């Protein structure tokens, strides 16, 4: 359910950090457009809107991009990550100028959104400045570790042990929805977790049917054909092959499919699309940095196809829901926890045959898609401004608790 909106607050009324900085740390940030990067960006933007002093620390990127925001973004030395373009591997401790800047910042609380280079940096600052650190567990890292280690169980287990050691070092661990606790427990974490949901900056104030029609016109989508969308990293861990294989089974039906994002599997996905003769119906649009343009694609879509078993609490499901576009997810996946089938989204089995069958069933019932999309907007989408009120309350509690203990 959508929580009641609270009044905007002044600068946090705490006695243990007034006037100091909230530090957000993550190993990805726009122009990298994954869910965690966008989460951090929205945290920073919403905190700033609520009169908080905030900054972001993140690795440099290897692309033509200039940061422009109302809050400081501090980037440190990095090297390209092999096989995971556009990601980079951060090495802050060789970046003397960055370290000189960051150590002069008077932080009051630190929030790490991943357990890698930025998290280790945040832990160092915590020890130096004697302040609390929050760590959010966003991602199922095991699948990444298995791919990197070529399924070497010993290396994978060591990597998992290392990240859990970081989470055990934090003053509090947050998860974006309750089902994620099962994942972090499976990895070996035994401490307390706190649920802190993600939000979306998208919203709809006008007639959604008119907006959808306008989106179709602006994107040159022929009227009357079903439109499907996938937004996210183009990696096999997100089960994207299933989408192409499913669409291949219904290629005689009219439809338009858009893939937005990039990743190491993009080239093979395009080859697969050619192989199945789907070139005229499937478009790969790459990364879309313009959020209004991305919103237009969400609005134009009838359904978000998101068969990922890799994601914990995908931001894209909330973004789509905000513009009345329901998601089709895999039954039993962690992502599907917020979805009640045929009420605020759709669920199906983890096979191309089952996915195809469900898509065909739904596109023949457009009124159900519209009603479920409306329910999704009311029950799945929640504004970042609303979420950040809860975040600030928890930050305040942790700072007071830390000050009392220390």
Residues 195 and 330 in one domain: no
Establish if 7 belongs to a structural domain.
Answer: no
Same domain for 218 and 251, yes or no, is yes
The Cα–Cα gap between 299 and 325 comes to 7
For residue 395, being part of any structural domain is answered with yes
Domain count, the chain: 2
Query: Residue 130: what are its φ and ψ, rounded to 5°?
Result: 55, 55
What b-and-e string marks burial along 206-242, b requiring 16 or more CB atoms within 10 Å of the CB? eebeebbeebbeeeebeeeebbbbbbbbbbbbbbbeb
Q: Please report, rounded to a whole number, the percentage of residues in the chain having pLDDT higher than 90.
A: 88
Are 305 and 374 within one domain?
Answer: yes
Report yes or no: 143 and 168 within 8 Å, Cβ to Cβ: no
pLDDT given at position 7 = 43
Start-end of H helices in 291-382? 291-300, 315-322, 352-363, 366-379
Give the pLDDT confidence score for residue 9 in this predicted structure. Answer: 44
Q: Is pLDDT of 70 > 80?
A: yes
Average pLDDT over residues 389-402: 97
Residue 334 lies in a domain: yes
In a domain, 3, yes or no: no
The whole-number average pLDDT for the span 28-54 is 96
**Average pLDDT of span 50-75:** 94
pLDDT at 17 over 70: no
Query: pLDDT (tens digit, 9 = 90+) per residue, 314-362?
Result: 999 999 999 999 999 999 999 999 999 999 999 999 999 999 999 999 9
Q: What is the pLDDT of residue 391?
A: 98
Domain presence at residue 264: yes
Does any domain span residue 231? yes
Residue scoring higher pLDDT (372 or 405): 372
In a domain, 13, yes or no: no
Q: What would the mean pLDDT of 122-133 be, rounded to a whole number?
A: 97
Q: Are residues 221 and 289 in the same domain?
A: yes
Same domain for 67 and 45?
yes
The mean of the pLDDT values for the chain is: 94
Reported confidence tier of residue 18, pLDDT bands at 50, 70, 90: low
Task: Return the percentage of the chain with pLDDT > 70, whole number.
Answer: 95
Residue 183 sits in the same domain as residue 231: no
Q: Rounded to whole angstroms, how far apart are CA atoms 282 and 275? A: 12
* pLDDT above 90: residue 256: yes
Q: Which domain holds residue 88?
A: 21-199+383-405
pLDDT tens-digit series, residues 288-319: 999 999 999 999 999 999 999 999 999 999 99
- 401 domain residue, yes or no: yes
Residues 311 and 399 in one domain: no
Residues 130 and 221 in one domain: no
Question: 167 vs 37, 164, 317, CA distance in Å?
Answer: 19, 5, 26
Q: Does the pLDDT value for residue 115 go beyond 90?
A: yes
Read off the tokens for 210: 């008119």
User: pLDDT for 195-240, tens place per residue?
Assistant: 999 999 999 888 999 999 999 999 999 989 999 999 999 999 999 9
Residue 315 and residue 214 in one domain? yes
Same domain, 263 and 360: yes
Does the predicted TM-score (pTM) go above 0.75?
yes
CATH number of the CATH domain containing 241: 3.40.50.2000
pLDDT exceeds cutoff 90 at 150:
no
pLDDT value of residue 19: 67
Give, to the nearest 10 degrees, the angle between helix 153-169 and helix 141-148.
140
The whole-number pLDDT of residue 229 equals 98
Could you tell me if 400 and 353 lie in one domain? Answer: no
Q: What gap in Å lies between CA 154 and CA 174, rounded to an integer?
A: 27
Same domain, 181 and 90: yes
| Residue with tokens 């092999």, as numbered in its chain | 82
């Amino acid at each position: 359910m959508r929580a009641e909106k609270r009044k905007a607050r002044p600068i946090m009324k705490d006695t243990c950090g007034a006037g100091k900085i909230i530090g957000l740390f993550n190993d990805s940030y726009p122009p990298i457009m994954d869910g965690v990067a966008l989460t951090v960006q929205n945290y920073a933007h919403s905190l700033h809107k609520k009169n908080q002093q905030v900054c972001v620390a993140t690795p440099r990127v290897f692309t033509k991009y200039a940061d422009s925001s109302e809050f400081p973004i501090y980037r440190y030395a990095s090297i390209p990550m092999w096989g995971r373009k556009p990601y980079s591997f951060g090495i802050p401790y060789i970046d003397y100028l960055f370290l000189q800047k960051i150590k002069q910042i008077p932080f009051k609380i630190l929030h790490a959104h991943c357990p890698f280079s930025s998290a280790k940096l945040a832990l160092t600052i915590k020890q130096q400045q004697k302040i609390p650190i929050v760590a959010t567990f966003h991602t199922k890292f095991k699948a990444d570790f298995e791919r990197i280690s070529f399924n070497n169980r010993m290396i994978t287990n060591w990597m998992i042990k290392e990240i859990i050691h970081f989470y055990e070092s934090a003053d509090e661990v947050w998860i974006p929805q309750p089902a994620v606790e099962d994942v972090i427990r499976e990895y070996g974490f035994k401490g307390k977790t706190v649920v802190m949901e993600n939000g979306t900056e998208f919203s709809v104030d006008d007639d959604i049917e008119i907006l959808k029609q306008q989106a179709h016109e602006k994107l040159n989508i022929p009227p009357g054909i079903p439109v499907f969308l996938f937004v996210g990293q183009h990696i096999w861990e997100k089960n994207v092959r299933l989408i192409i294989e499913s669409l291949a089974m219904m290629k005689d039906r009219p439809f338009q499919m858009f893939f937005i994002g990039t990743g190491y599997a993009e080239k093979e996905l395009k080859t697969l699309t050619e192989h199945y003769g789907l070139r005229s119906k499937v478009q790969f649009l790459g990364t879309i940095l313009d959020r209004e343009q991305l919103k237009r694609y969400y609005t134009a879509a009838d359904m978000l196809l998101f068969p990922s078993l890799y994601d914990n609490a995908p931001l894209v499901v909330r973004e789509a829901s905000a513009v009345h576009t329901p998601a089709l997810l895999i039954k039993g996946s962690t992502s599907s926890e917020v979805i009640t089938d045929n009420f605020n989204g759709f669920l199906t089995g983890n096979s191309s045959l089952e996915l195809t069958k469900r898509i065909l069933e739904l596109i023949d019932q457009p009124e159900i898609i519209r009603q479920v999309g409306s329910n999704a907007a009311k029950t799945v989408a929640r504004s970042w401004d609303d979420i950040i009120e809860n975040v600030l309350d928890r930050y305040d509690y942790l700072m007071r608790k830390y000050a009392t203990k220390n």
